[in-house]
Structure 1
């Protein structure tokens, strides 16, 4: 097909031709369901002439396309501090306020492009491969059991903060050389840094985000640097040694910056995944007992829970060159928004896609991206989630939802509940 026959992104129907930006951003799962029900919505034009992709096959294909790179840190910072994303003008903060947030973005593998991206990504992937994360499994199991014991018998447990958040921060603190007090501090900082996922923020929220990012980069970076200097931490030793072999502009200056920037998802997003998987399992009256009776279903619980409620509901790439795909010309420099909230519920791929089926055949959805951008932490996310679910469905443990008011946070890229109260008890069966 010649370029003269292609439809440009600028000529595609706009998202706001079908739904207001406010409704679109309030709940991406509901918005995607509505958009998929309309004709001509496979590809849409979004804010800043972005390409919005809804269908599973398209999201998976484009996610693996090497011509789609990451959005560079300076553009992400501009979007966070200056871009008008739909709610009115944004006041540009003082550069000193955003210095820490800028460091956080600059050192992430998720903001790098060739030639640095692949060797930098490989550094993380090698440490988090299935055979390597086996060394972490005993610590994860022990921490999950400790948290069950801490929560058992309480009238009510805030699962997000008192189990999932504590579990992941304590786990990574042990692996990376942080103290228990530093782990608790990081968990608090994660709540503030989650503001980065809001589509619109007040000036006060932005200030909280930028302040938390600065403190986080200092606390984690300095603790990791000290743990590495003290010696005896194989994970840090391996990453620091490989970092030293990368001779390219833009790489992190030290192991502390590398870990702080790239393990944010470990401290934060994996906790959201655990919360979502457990919520979906508890929302089905039969699922906890099924998992308890057949521990092999723990894996199904992870995939089905993250399919329905992927922690990150969308991700954005940037075309590094002109791309032609399915009759659409996507010029170089175009943002491409892949809607996992839609792709993972695509009826062309998943039968009765909005239902929770613990015994659904496992289909690796688009939750973790693909190709050169396949999430480096996907294996450890699964291991930690399955470890938590295993502990919570042990024969002598009972966990249940407390109340029925479970609302999803609005106007955010994260699929996260505003609260998840549960009861956890030791029982004799």
Structure 2
């Protein structure tokens, strides 16, 4: 019975909210900052919606509230591909099938009770201590990439530096051959199409080819690692056997069927998004020369500079979430089954938490950042991405290599759920001893 004086919670009327496009946001970095200025200029609306009537959460306090609520989980694979797992589903493989094959093994599609142990399995491989032990490999790869750059050359920092180092690092770590490394680099480049706001049939065709080849190579890498007695691969194999849960595509998720599936599902971000983090950090520092000079003069400030750069230019703009159980908050209820779009990047630009959010300020408090999400679903690969970014910058500084603006401007991919540079031309100047 309702207690006297206590109002019954009301269902959140998502259809009553304005859309993101009403505030000028269509995806991609080009209109993101203008969107943030406009949407944060008033206290209302609290929420927005997508054209498909998914709830859009963008204010920092709400991102924290939803991001830490146990009722709000990951978007299960069966909700992404609702027709795929129905009884009597067609055996034909429609466009996008190979994408689903890979993503189904990604921790971002798991919910309890599978999510926790699967996440720990990844962190046993990519936790802060383990990533620290990988640092020398990252330096070796970075030095090799730098050695191929000529003095005075204008290079694309995305392809020539960030992607080359990231792909080279994972390829060496996973014992890929040179030919396999080149192929998987092309696959990672094609994966960009996954994040287009409106994917075409041609996008899906190219993505299916890329994901199928990517999965094949990582399956080979896993088998090769197991044969070589690679400790990390052996531990993943052992932990995988402990994930004794029935498959539940519509809520809990699907247990990965092999070590190769674990690698493929969870290194999409490793190969693709980590390169974005590095390129975006270079971009933020290059456009804030005082910060770049500070880092050069005081290398111990570099970690704070990277944190601030990724606050300004986080790789991920938004991710989907899913309400597992009726979510009661602030007198409202959001029913189970509701899909939610979490605009994590907007949390970093909420002026109520980050005053003058477009200003690069290394002295800001580093609490409350939404760069990698929050709560139990925070990105488990963030340590590797930040380490690779730091090593690249340290190696450029160690060799006294100057990076300056090129005549052609950087270009961001529009209509994208990622904050991704398509091209970032920069002029490289080597010190006298390297000429």
TM-score (normalizing by structure 2) = 0.89
Aligned partner of 2:203 in structure 1 is 205
In 1: Cα distance, 2:372 partner to 2:28 partner: 22
Q: CA deviation at 1:364?
A: 4.5
Matched, 1:9 2:6: no
**CA deviation after TM superposition for structure 1 residue 45, in Å:** 2.8
- Alignment correspondent of 1:114: 112
Which runs of at least 4 in structure 1 moved beyond 6 Å after TM superposition? Answer: 23-26
- Corresponding residue of 1:370: 374
Cα distance in 1 for residues equivalent to 2:129 and 2:24: 47
Q: 1:194 aligns with which of 160, 171, 192?
A: 192
* Matching of residue 51 in structure 1 with residue 55 in structure 2: yes
Q: Is 1:244 the counterpart of 2:241 in the alignment?
A: yes
> How far apart are residue 28 of structure 1 and its match?
3.2
C-alpha separation in 1, matches of 2:101 and 2:7: 40
- Shift in CA distance, 428/60, structure 1 to aligned 2, threshold 3 Å: farther
Provide the residue aligned with 2:87 in structure 1: none
1:224: how far off?
A: 2.0
The answer for the alignment partner of 1:338 in structure 2 is 342
Deviations 1:236-265 (A, max 9, x none): 122111112221232111101110111111
What is the Cα-based RMSD across aligned positions, in Å? 2.5
CA distance in 1, matches of 2:386, 2:110: 25
Contact 1:166 1:184 in 2 (8 A): no
Match of 1:315 in 2: 319
Tell me how far 1:10 sits from its aligned partner: 3.0
Q: 1:16 to 1:239 in 2, by over 3 A?
A: closer
Structure 2: 5+ residue stretches without partners: 85-89, 247-253
Q: TM-score, length-normalised on structure 1?
A: 0.90
| Equivalent residue for 1:261, pick from 262, 265, 275 | 265
Q: Does 1:158 align with 2:156?
A: yes
What is the SS of the residue equivalent to 1:256?
Answer: helix
Q: CA deviation at 1:318?
A: 0.3
Whole-angstrom CA distance in 1 between matches of 2:98 and 2:428: 38
Q: Greater CA deviation, 239-248 or 347-356? A: 239-248
Give 1:22-37 correspondences, 5 Å limit: 22=26, 27-37=31-41
- Partner SS state of residue 52, structure 1: strand
CA 238–3 in structure 1, closer or farther in 2 if over 3 Å, else same: farther
1:133-185 CA deviation, whole Å, 9 max, x = no partner? 12101111111122122124252111111110011111011111211221121
Residues 102-131 of structure 1: CA deviation (Å, up to 9, x unaligned): 211111111111211111111001222211
| Contact persistence 2:77–2:103 (CA under 8 A) | yes
Q: Among residues 5, 19, 24, which one is paired with 2:23 in the alignment?
A: 19
Q: 1:225 to 1:334 in 2, by over 3 A?
A: same
Q: Conserved in 1, the CA contact under 8 Å of 2:29 and 2:413?
A: no
Q: Which is further off, 342-351 or 403-412?
A: 403-412
Residue range with higher mean Cα deviation, 398-407 or 182-191: 398-407
2:231 aligned residue: 234
> Which stretch has the larger CA shift, 253-262 or 404-413?
404-413
Structure 1 residue aligned with 2:385: 381
Which residue pairs with 1:136 in the alignment?
134
Q: 1:279 aligns with which of 279, 283, 295?
A: 283
